[in-house]
Amino acid sequence: MLKKDFPIFTKHPDLIYLDSAATTLKPQSVIDAINDYYINYSSNSHRGIYDLAEKTTEKVEEVRIKIADFLGSKIEEVAFTPGATTGLNILYYGYLKNVPKNSRVVVLESEHNSNLLPLMKWCKEFSLKLEIVKLKNSVEEIEENLIAFLDNQTVLLALNFDSNVMPLNLNFERIIQVARGLNIKVFLDACQTLAHKQIDVKKLKIDALAFSAHKLYGPTGIGAIYINENLISLLDPLIVGGGIVEDVQESEVKYYTGIKKFEAGTLNMAGIFGFGACIDYLLKIGYKSIVKQEKSLAKKLILEFEKLEFIETYPKFLKENSLFAFNVKGVHPHDAAMILNEDNVCIRASQHCTHLLHERLKINASLRVSFGVYSTKKDIDCLIDSLKKVNKYFNSIDG
């Protein structure tokens, strides 16, 4: 049982943590790696020429190699960021700044605000047309509608690889093939994907991708972006400062031309040490084991939900997935979450940063269960018992 790897369960033995889509818990190996930086290195990277600084730089670059191998990319295509939100802003600013005015950018209305809001901002800033594609009743219809929006005026297709609310399971191989046939760049937000399945950016022919370590059992405040080597020179850096210039004169600044032009300022070295450790942890468990466990948990949760007439799910017919959005009929999600909290059951209650999606679903908010490698069938039993309590408290005559 993997809970033993996570010290938070020693401090909180009754914790039922079912909010891994928001942030994952951290295994001891990741915590140790962060502490290792502060105890044994504690110096800036890519700056000093003394031993400690050079060792820190070596370690940072080792992690960059690890991330490149993890994504199936080249080392020269990976940059560290403070997280996916910053990474997506870097990508969209850098690329959209230089495309023709009135070009089209296509996105789905199910997108997380970290993907959607930067697109809104930079499309407005650079006089581009943002096309927000509406959801349909089936995945097949969504795919057809999305593809129908792509044309010769479209310069970018920007999507979450996986929704943080409901399973879409889009056929990205087909979608990307159509986009590439029209010379459309494809940028993906992989935050909700890489803890559950691996992505090979070269096989999929993705142009750029962003993700955060804290969704992968790593530390907060650190992420990475992948940018295809043929695209790097076309992107201007959003954030400028120390560490990304070859020369500075009063009349001219000469920036690096490679991937490191996106790494202005001091990197989060402790976070990077933890980043490397969380990838090691994921690969040690193995995606085959992760998928097997998640399928088992999903089957149990779906079976239990089907027994409860007071549960409303989104979508109505559930598929095996690592997360599920639902509501207790007649109960506001915040009220339900407060009752669950009394039983130490932690789930998300909000719009999950997907306002447009919740508007499409015609609900103010929803509850969300999301699994991690430490999730168990006992956790689901506790959740179901607490939901029954919620329903009895709010909906029963003698509640």
- Distance between CA 91 and CA 163 in Å, rounded? 20
* b/e code 192-220 from CB counts within 10 Å (16+ = b): bbbbbeebebeebebbbbbbbbbbbbbbb
Q: In sequence order, what DSSP letters do the residues of 159-173 get, joined into one string?
A: EESS-SSS-----HH
Just list the catalytic residues.
353
Pick from 254, 92, 260: nearest CA to 188:
92
Number of H helices, E strands in the chain: 14, 15
The predicted pLDDT at position 47 comes to 85
* b/e code 59-96 from CB counts within 10 Å (16+ = b): bbeebbebbbebbebeeebbbbbbbbbbbbbbbbbbbb
| Mean pLDDT of all residues in 242-260 | 91
The predicted pLDDT at position 184 comes to 97
Which of the residue ranges 127-141, 157-171, 328-342, 356-370 has the most confident prediction, judged by mean pLDDT? 328-342
Longest dimension (CA), the chain: 77
CB 231 within 8 A of CB 250: no
289-322 per-position pLDDT tens digit? 999 999 999 999 999 999 999 999 998 878 888 9
pLDDT of 8 above 90? yes
Contacts of 379 (CB under 8 A, 6+ apart): 16, 17, 18
CB 120 within 8 A of CB 130: yes
Strands 311-314 and 253-255: unpaired
| Domains of the chain, earliest start first | 2-22+287-395 (3.90.1150.10), 29-284 (3.40.640.10)
18-74 per-position pLDDT tens digit? 999 999 999 999 999 999 999 999 998 988 889 899 999 999 999 999 999 999 999
Determine phi and psi for 129, rounding to 5 degrees. -100, 120
The predicted pLDDT at position 192 comes to 96
pLDDT of 324 above 80? yes
The predicted pLDDT at position 314 comes to 92
| Mean pLDDT of all residues in 114-118 | 95
CB 317 within 8 A of CB 139: no
211-238 per-position pLDDT tens digit? 999 999 999 999 999 999 999 999 999 9
pTM of the model: 0.94
The predicted pLDDT at position 388 comes to 97
pLDDT of 397 above 80? no
CA dihedral 93→94→98→101, nearest 10 degrees, is -20
The helix-helix angle for 139-148 and 172-181 (nearest 10°) equals 10
Task: Tell me the residue length of the chain.
Answer: 399
CB 8 within 8 A of CB 373: no
| Mean pLDDT of all residues in 206-213 | 98
Range list of β-strands (E), the chain = 16-17, 78-81, 104-108, 129-133, 154-160, 185-189, 208-212, 223-227, 245-248, 253-255, 311-314, 323-328, 345-346, 348-350, 366-370
